[in-house]
Structure 1
C-alpha cells in the first residue's frame, strides 16, 4: 500500500518559468529582430509532456519592442501627436535595478506613492525584439526598495521623464533620460493570435511613420547604456 503512494508522490513535477519585460525609467539602447524561438520556459526532466501543458496554461504577456536615439525630440513629439491624435501623457519614473541571475528585475517608482515591480527577459539584439514580462503593483515603492536592496543588492538606477502616446496597439514613449539624453521606445502589445513576425511588422511600419532611422536604433536597456558609460550627446 505504501509503495504505490510513494511512486505517486515522486512522479510529480515542478516547472520553472521565467518572464520577460521592461524597464522604462531613466536610461537604455538599440536592437535587431531575433529569430523566432521559445524562451522563458524551463522544463523538468521528470515529465516533459505534462510540463509543456503547464507552460501553455501559464501564458505570459509579451511585447515587441524597438528603442532608438532621438536627435530632435520636438519633431518626434509632433509626429507622435499627429498619429495618436493626442498631446501624450507625462509620466515621471525612477527605476531601481536589482542584481538578478536571470533576466532583469526592477522596481519602478512613479513618484506618486505608486509603483510596479517588474521582471522581464528579452534578447539584446538590434531592431524589433520580443520581450516577456511579469508585473506586480505596489503602493509603497520605498519600503519595497529597501527590502530588495538588502536581499539582492542594487545594480543601478535610471531616472527619466516619459511622454506616452498610444497609437493603435503600440505604446510610443518619448523619454528624456537623466545622464543619457532623448530616446524613443515602441512597445507593440501583442494580441494572443499574433505572431512575433506580426509584432515586428507593426513596429517597423510605425518606426517609418515616426521618421526613426535604422542608424539611430540602440541595443539594450537604459541601465545597460548607463553602465557602459554612455552620456548625453
Structure 2
C-alpha cells in the first residue's frame, strides 16, 4: 500500500489560505477538481468511489486513525471507466454510507498535495497529503505537514479528525 501523512482542518480564512498556497506552489495554478465520493460499508478502513467531472472514477481504500493532526494514511487506488456500474455492484454488496460532494483546489508544494476544499453542506477545509517515499518515516512526513500548517496559517484548534462523511453524518446528513 502507498502511504502519506494527512492533515485535515477547518478553514477560517479561505482567501488567505489560497494566497499562501499559490505562493508556495511550484508549478501551475491551482487545479479545480469537482468530486463526489460515495462511501461504502466495510469491516475496516474506508472504501470510497470517487467520481470525477470527466465521467471517470477511482476506487479508493484507506486506513488511518480518526485523530486530529498529522496522521499516517495507507491507501490503494484503482481507476475505473465505469463508476456507475461499480457503485451499483458495491452498493448492493456492501451498502452505501453516504456521499460527499466537493470542489477542490489542488496545489502541489514539494511532496505535498495541498487541497482547499469547499464541501457541500459543511463549508471550507484544507487537507494536506504529504506523499511519503519508501525511505521516509512517518515522523519525516509529520515534520513536513507541521511546517506547511504554519505557512498556511493552520492552528491546532482548526484540526479535525475523521472524514468529511463523519461530519455530514454527525449533522444528520448522508449527502445522498
* TM bracket (short chain): over 0.9
Q: Distance in 2 between matches of 1:175 and 1:230?
A: 21
Partner of 1:35: none
Q: Give the number of the structure whose alpha-carbon radius of gyration is greater.
A: 1
Paired residue secondary structure (1:76):
helix
1:230/1:216 CA distance change after superposition, 3 Å: farther
Structure 2 gaps of 5+ residues are none
Q: Distance in 2 between matches of 1:103 and 1:79?
A: 32
Q: Distance in 1 between matches of 2:157 and 2:94?
A: 36
Partner of 2:5: 64
Measure how far apart 1:142 and its partner are.
1.0
Q: How large is the Cα RMSD of the aligned pairs?
A: 1.2
Partner of 1:82: 23
Partner of 2:156: 214
| 8 Å Cα contact 1:180/1:230 also seen in 2 | no
Measure how far apart 1:230 and its partner are.
7.9
Q: Distance in 2 between matches of 1:229 and 1:77?
A: 27
Deviates more, 1:179-188 or 1:68-77: 68-77
Structure 1 gaps of 5+ residues are 1-59
Partner of 1:105: 47
TM-score scaled to structure 1, two decimals?
0.72
Decide which structure has greater strand share.
Answer: 2
Q: Which runs of 4+ in 1 moved over 6 A?
A: none
Measure how far apart 1:206 and its partner are.
0.6
Measure how far apart 1:87 and its partner are.
2.5
Aligned pair count?
A: 172
Measure how far apart 1:126 and its partner are.
1.5
